[in-house]
Structure 1
Amino acid sequence: MAAVGSTKISWRLEFEAHTSRVSCLSLGKSSGRLLATGGEDCRVNIWAVSKANCIMSLTGSKSPVECLQLNASEEQVVAGSQSGSIKIWDLEAAKLRTLMGHKANITSLGCHPLSENFLASSSMDTNIKLWDVRRKGYILRYQGHTDAVRSLAFSPDGKWLASASDDCTLWDLGAGKAITEFKAHSGAVNIVKFHPNEYLLASGSADTIKLWDLEKFSMVGSLEGDTSAGRGLSL
């Protein structure tokens, strides 16, 4: 009998998800079994993990999909496009809504961790906007960046918002104002992530990953070297 741990089991499922380049994906956090993908073919496709057949193909976007998010209940999928529009599909009711307010590519989307009514978006137009998805217009705009905002993230308690641009900025969500700016990166910041359990924030640029203490607002760690453009980060 083989010793416990001596056998490695792995599987791979490869399939064509779109008719052109796949630009983004989101795995459902509730079940871990639902996957949404977005592509340059202007579609959002919904998949059951481990199956190669598309469950649902969502149309309505007239420009390539740049980013997307499944909400916590996996009942809605939100997609940002190159045109600056945001599409919200209700998967149960088969309804589509459109949010307009950005003037350039949507670069990142974030669903509020404690309320499915609130959504944040960032754009190449340098703005961050907070939306109540029950309304048509945004409810807050966060201004201060002078370059494209490439990424955003909600803090686990939903009180703060972090953004990546020419620097890394921490925002008070309700007040709509910057709390502090982290400027230790030598180049543009591409990605930000909050630690799920600690008061820590990570930010990544082309050659550096920084770790920030959110109680003292100071840097507590730095990883130098080629980080492959720093576009993906997980804590």
Structure 2
Amino acid sequence: MNSRAPLSVGRVTFFGRHRGEVNCSAFSPDGQTLLTASEDGYLYGWETKSGQLLWRLGGHTGPVKFCCFSPDGYLFASSSSDRTIHLWDLSRAECLWVLKGHQRSVETLIFSPDSRQLASGGWDKQVMLWEVQSGHKLRHLEGHHDSIQSSDFSPNANCLATGSWDSTVRIWDLRVGTPAVFHQELEGHSGNISCLCYSLSGLLIKVWDYNTGKCLETLKVRPVAAAPSEGSRKDFRTWSLVLCFWQGFLDVAHTCAFTRQGKLLVSGAAI
């Protein structure tokens, strides 16, 4: 990897009104709104620039484990240990659908690139695909042997990658009809897989070539976020990997996320 000058990083805004650990954070596509999910059972919306609290949303009956925005910027989703997923309208901060079907805590969510589908996974070892417009469940994918903690759609939306505490990554081919959904299993981790993501060229971290299933490189990181650089987006090594090593937290940093433009980074901690 090419050497670079040290990053100049300063704390821009402090978001400190949570009443429990911050489990997840996400920026809206335009970077104007920050979403945080807390152990206190609430979902928080913030104005990114000023740090002003826009809303504090209830509805879940347990800790909020995950949150994410739809790529088109109209919706966001949250999941909880109460086994439900809530779909929200961003402009009104109003719940549109409560998705039920998981039997245990829902730990990960991801919208498809066209914002039409939502994938979820959790402690029941199940992957579920939902139609966003109606809230109906489309598919139920089985195969992992332990909790599913991370997920991501491929850039062309043909595949879904899921990472599990069974130490495997599975690539699900969504072009094949239910129930015979083909999946490829990527092995090589020796511990729990808590985070994964595709690059725009289709590589995963632990760095896998998802076409061949070959592990290209091992990076020991947790948590991880990627910011686009000035270079070609076709090469994974032109992306900046940022680890939560900066000082300032008094406890474990659970989450970090970049804005789409790569200029702002948010990180959340237990305290």
1:154·1:194 contact (CA, 8 Å) conserved in 2?
A: no
Which residue of structure 1 aligns with residue 255 of structure 2? 232
> Deviations for 1:93-136, whole angstroms, at most 9, x for unmatched residues?
634310001011101001112x1221100000000011112434
CA distance in 2, matches of 1:204, 1:227: 16
1:67 aligns with 2:108: yes
2:252 aligned partner, one-letter code: A
1:29 aligned partner, one-letter code: P
Which residue of structure 2 aligns with residue 21 of structure 1? 63
> Deviations for 1:53-83, whole angstroms, at most 9, x for unmatched residues?
3111111112210110111221111100101
**Stretches of structure 2 lacking an aligned partner (at least 5 in a row):** 1-49, 232-237, 259-271
Which residue of structure 1 aligns with residue 262 of structure 2? none
Which residue of structure 1 aligns with residue 226 of structure 2? 194
Relative distance call for 1:131 and 1:181 in structure 2 (3 A) is: same
CA distance in 2, matches of 1:50, 1:28: 13
Which residue of structure 2 aligns with residue 161 of structure 1? 204
CA distance in 2, matches of 1:227, 1:128: 32
Relative distance call for 1:12 and 1:128 in structure 2 (3 A) is: same
Which residue of structure 2 aligns with residue 123 of structure 1? 164
Question: How does the TM-score come out when normalised to structure 1?
Answer: 0.75
1:1-235 maps to which residues of 2 (within 5 A)?
10=52, 12-30=54-72, 32-92=73-133, 94-113=136-155, 115-135=156-176, 136-158=180-202, 160-162=203-205, 169-182=206-219, 189-197=221-229, 198=231, 199-202=238-241, 204=243, 208=245, 223=246, 226=249, 228-235=251-258
Relative distance call for 1:108 and 1:227 in structure 2 (3 A) is: farther
Relative distance call for 1:172 and 1:16 in structure 2 (3 A) is: same
2:130·2:137 contact (CA, 8 Å) conserved in 1?
A: yes
- Deviation at residue 227 of structure 1 after TM alignment: 8.3
Q: Number of residues paired by the alignment?
A: 198
Question: Percentage identity across aligned positions?
Answer: 26
Relative distance call for 1:95 and 1:234 in structure 2 (3 A) is: closer
- Deviation at residue 232 of structure 1 after TM alignment: 2.0
Relative distance call for 1:201 and 1:78 in structure 2 (3 A) is: same
2:228·2:240 contact (CA, 8 Å) conserved in 1?
A: no
SS of aligned partner of 1:104: coil
1:46·1:56 contact (CA, 8 Å) conserved in 2?
A: yes
Relative distance call for 1:9 and 1:23 in structure 2 (3 A) is: closer
Relative distance call for 1:127 and 1:227 in structure 2 (3 A) is: farther
CA distance in 2, matches of 1:9, 1:192: 23
Q: Look at both structures and tell me which one has the larger radius of gyration over its CA atoms.
A: 1
Aligned-residue Cα RMSD (Å) equals 2.3
**Stretches of structure 1 lacking an aligned partner (at least 5 in a row):** 1-7, 163-168, 184-188, 209-222
1:171 aligned partner, one-letter code: W
1:179 aligned partner, one-letter code: L
